[in-house]
Amino acid sequence: MESGYLALVLNAHLPFVRHPEYEEFLEEDWFYEAVVETYIPLIRVFSGLLEGGRPERGINFGITIALSPPLCEMLADSLLQDRCLRYVYKRIELMEREVHRTRNTPFYETALLYQERFKQTRHLFEDVYKKNLINAFRWLQDAGGVEIMTCAATHGFLPLMSTDQSREAQIRVGCQNYEKHFGRPPRGIWLPECAYTPGLEILLSRAGIQYFIQDTHGILHASPRPVYGVFAPIVTPCGVAAFGRDAESSKQVWSAKEGYPGDWNYREFYRDLGYDADYEYIRPYLHPDGIKRNLGIKYHKITGPVSMGEKQPYDPYRAREKAAEHAGNFMFNRQHQARSLRGHLGRPPVILAPYDAELFGHWWFEGPEFLDFLFRKIAFDQRDIRTVTLNQYLEENPVLQVSTPSASTWGDKGYNEVWLNASNDWIYRHLHKAEERMLELAREFPEAEGLTERMLNQAARELLLAQSSDWAFIMTTGTMSPYAEKRTRDHISRFNYLYQQIKSGGATPNSMDYPRLEEVESRDNIFQEIDFRVYTAGD
């Protein structure tokens, strides 16, 4: 019998960034980079473990992945799919030149590696999954080994919303969108930023959610205090389970200073060909503004505490050896942790290790290889721990302690400060007023149809998009703040315009700016399945 369980969880989320009004848009690169550097490498790893969908021949593993609704909508969007493929083809073209340029240099093997990976990415993205990675993730879940969770509709920061109706709408729209893409209702949810406040579990239960995840202190400070700490989930009085993050295993991978990603043999993220190359050489691969930027082609290793100019050439073979070594070390530590905890607790612990998915591949280039090695080593080299999805754990361990978690997030200092501070507090007076107005509209026009219903649905989309926690987070970090501020103002402005049009009775093609509605619907086209009445579902 195993000493314990290891529950790895990846949270895959990006804000909804789609700008059809521009041929190229800088912030859309967030999506293309994530597809190429994280999602496809992870799909390749998990597919390889499943041996082409034949689990009896593959590796017995379990991992839980949260795919946020905005990410799912972008993955399924034909415009972004075509633009992502264009991004891949441009990288293939660049690497053909790079293989020639780097011949007889220390960078040649790395250039060959990039060339081969981009070609594999093109094949998987275009030929195998027909540009829609939802197909890949759905297949992985159906084949076994991978369980996919949902998230709130636009990753809205639920505790800072002014009404339960707004919170419930975020949750229900997220669940509906998951069912649209995956053909089944979700069992679990990744609460945006792991942000919980007492009472949320009631809304989750009404939406059919069976479990969610919290940061460590949210479970440790639960009432009554959990007997097993974070090493067993608790169940709230309404029946929804809550898992707590294990700080030790998380830090060992997450921390760039103390964890594996900071090893000097791994690829250096911050030195990029987009800045190193001659400007005229690299100009065809920049955006029309011609400003230098990261291209995802990086030839140097971390090296150590040295300046960027002193970074040494990256050795992909040595880095791969390190990934295998670190996977073995992580497994070894979890074995000892599980054995020790079982002795103290008198039952097998579940060690929950959640991470942002983009850590694996984008920030930590070798991360997907680390996971591949880890699952294979756990399957063949030991018998102390077993990887499980969160639903598998609950099915095998249905008896849980009843307790109510405490308010918490996984942000800096553990509570709401990242999303409510002097840099972003101005947004909430506008969001709260829009939340009140959306509820007013939903109650006033329950029988709306035709053009009025379209306007009400679009108003709901604009409010949901304005509520994305990403905008407040970006304002706090100070990176791309003008874009985050503009997105917040634009969505609130469009919501208020629609509100005024509906309230004034102007919901006919002859008495309103009908082309403007069509333009807004075309631009902010998320959640085509939405029904604005979701705001009164709990009435």
- Residues 6 or more apart whose CB falls under 8 angstroms from that of 527 comprise 69, 73, 153, 173, 177, 461, 464
Q: CA dist 424 to 360, 431, 492, Å?
A: 29, 12, 15
**Bridge partners, 350 (sequence order):** 5
Catalytic residue among 29, 37, 193, 372: 193
**pLDDT tens profile 392-444:** 999 999 999 999 999 999 999 999 999 999 999 999 999 999 999 999 999 99
Q: Which of 276, 356, 485, 521 is catalytic?
A: 356
405 neighbors 362 (Cβ within 8 angstroms): no
CA-wise closest residue to 427 among 488, 495, 502: 488
Q: Can you give the pLDDT at residue 407?
A: 97
Mean pLDDT of 260-276: 97
pLDDT exceeds cutoff 90 at 479: no
Radius of gyration for the chain, computed over Cα atoms and rounded to the nearest angstrom: 24
Span 38-62, average pLDDT: 83
**Between the CA atoms of 322, 324, 325 and 330, what dihedral angle is there, to the nearest 10 degrees?**
120
Percent of all residues in the chain with a pLDDT value above 70, rounded to a whole number: 97
CA–CA separation, 195 and 191 (whole Å): 6
What is the per-residue pLDDT for 138?
97
pLDDT band at residue 16 using 50, 70 and 90 as cut-offs: very high
If we measure between CA atoms, which residue out of 287, 372, 365 comes closest to residue 37? 365
pLDDT in tens, 99-126: 999 999 999 999 999 999 999 999 999 9
pLDDT confidence band for 531 (50 / 70 / 90): very high
Measured CA to CA, the distance from residue 202 to residue 198 in angstroms comes to 9
Between 416 and 515, residue with greater pLDDT: 416
Flag whether pLDDT at 507 surpasses 90.
no
pLDDT tens digits, residue range 292-324?
Answer: 999 999 999 999 999 999 999 999 999 999 999
pLDDT score at 257: 76
Statement: residue 43 has pLDDT above 60? yes
Distances (CA, A) of 282 to 30, 53, 216, 292, 535: 20, 41, 46, 9, 49
pLDDT for the residue numbered 511: 54
Does position 327 have pLDDT exceeding 70, yes or no? yes
Average the pLDDT over 464-493 and give the result: 96
Distance CA 534, CA 461 (A): 12
Residue 513 pLDDT more than 70? no
What is the per-residue pLDDT across 136-176, written as a single tens digit (0 to 9) for each?
Answer: 999 999 998 899 999 999 999 999 999 999 999 999 999 99
Tell me how long the chain is: 539
Could you tell me the CA-to-CA distances from 350 to 356, 362, 396 in Å, in that order? 19, 28, 12
Q: Quick one: which of 4, 39, 5, 110 has its CA closest to 358? A: 39
CA distance 535 to 266: 48
Reported as a single tens digit per residue, the pLDDT across 370-390 is: 999 999 999 999 999 999 999
Does residue 356 carry a catalytic annotation? yes
> From the centroid of its chain, how far is CA 246?
19
Burial of 433 (0-12, 13-18, 19+ CB in 10 A): middle
Q: How far is CA 521 from CA 32, 128, 476, 477, 491, in A?
A: 23, 31, 30, 30, 12
Instruction: Report the alpha-carbon angle 142-144-147, nearest 5.
Output: 80
